[in-house]
Amino acid sequence: MIAQWLFALVVLAFVVRGLYTQWSKVRDGLASLDIRWTPVLLASVIVLAVYALLIQAWRRMLAEWDTKLTYGTAARIWFGAGLGKYIPGYVWSLTAMGVMARERGASPVAAAGSSLVINILTIGSGAALALLCGTGLIPNPVVAGLVMIGIVAAAASAPYLLPVLGKVASRVTGRVIEVPQISPSVVWLLLAWTAVAWVGYGVAYQLFAIGLLGSSADHYRVVHAPLLFIAVYTASYIAGLIAPTPAGLGVREAWLYEGFKQLHMMSASDAVIVAFASRLWLTVLEVVPGLVALAIHQLSHRTRSA
């Protein structure tokens, strides 16, 4: 855990160093912000809708472990356990999910295992989508075609790779989780659902950037580059997921900043503003529902125990 905190501090040091070099422009950009709240609110609604889809995906995967939860119970566990990502370490979210599921009479192994498999599928569909949306950036049509073929092949073989990936993830997390025999149709369905979730995240992120930057967004590729937003956001989020820092802190922002700058989607100062403001925005959308879910969960647990 100490090593993970040190890694997070090193990453943040590089991010702060980049922020310092752009500070005068960032300060001017902050002073001239003309926020449009309608796109920001719409972006927030889309993110919450994505959460709803991912909760249903988790419930569908739980069924493969012969475990059923009502949607409301699953939502409370999903949001509450999600707070564990803000603690260094890979196991806290899974541990919290297992404990909360056991308190609701569900198998903690099924809860943690199904969540782990959903995370694997989410990373896989996200990586494929980032490559797919970024194929326009590949000038060589042969390479772009090979990327497309690789994406299709990976999706087709996903049901047969899951047991192997599950063992690898179990070693990383330190939890022994047996992945049951999952129907290929279920795997492909959940890959499609998680891909839709990534598209929703990318669209929401574009709307957030448009709302935050206001009129200055019209001068860059913020308005007219939805595929690039999906590719950059998805790649940055996956980098944050696999990084040993709390909730990908620093890593996600660094990827966003570099992606926006290298693809000329916005100025360097605006890229800094969007990257850090979006961290605050998404943290609120994750933490507030999580705290509410924990409060409801604890209240219902005490009521049953009384």
pLDDT at position 276 is 84
Radius of gyration of the chain (CA): 20
Alpha carbon distance 154, 120 (integer Å): 13
Q: Give the tokens for residue 126.
A: 């996200």
Q: Taking the model in full, what pTM does it have?
A: 0.81
DSSP 29-88: HHHT----HHHHHHHHHHHHHHHHHHHHHHHHHHHTTT----HHHHHHHHHHHHGGGGSS
Q: What is the number of alpha carbons within 13 Å of residue 189 lying toward its C-beta?
A: 12
For the four alpha carbons of 117, 119, 120 and 122, in that order, the dihedral sign comes to: positive
Residue with tokens 């970024």: 134
Burial of 124 (0-12, 13-18, 19+ CB in 10 A): buried
Rounded Cα–Cα distance for residues 278 and 219 (Å) = 20
Contact 47, 204 (CB under 8 A): yes
Distance CA 55, CA 296 (A): 17
CB-based contacts of 21: which residues, under 8 Å, 6+ apart? Answer: none
For residue 37, give the nearest of 206, 212, 233 by alpha carbon. Answer: 212
Q: Which residue has the tokens 């360097």?
A: 268
pLDDT (tens, 9 = 90+) of the chain, 306 residues, equals: 444 455 455 555 555 555 555 555 555 555 556 788 899 999 999 999 999 999 999 999 888 888 888 899 899 888 888 877 766 555 556 666 777 777 777 777 778 778 888 888 888 888 888 888 876 556 566 766 777 777 778 777 877 777 777 677 666 666 666 677 788 888 889 999 999 999 999 999 999 998 888 766 555 556 567 888 899 999 888 888 777 677 677 788 888 888 888 788 887 778 888 888 888 899 889 888 888 887 886 776 666 655
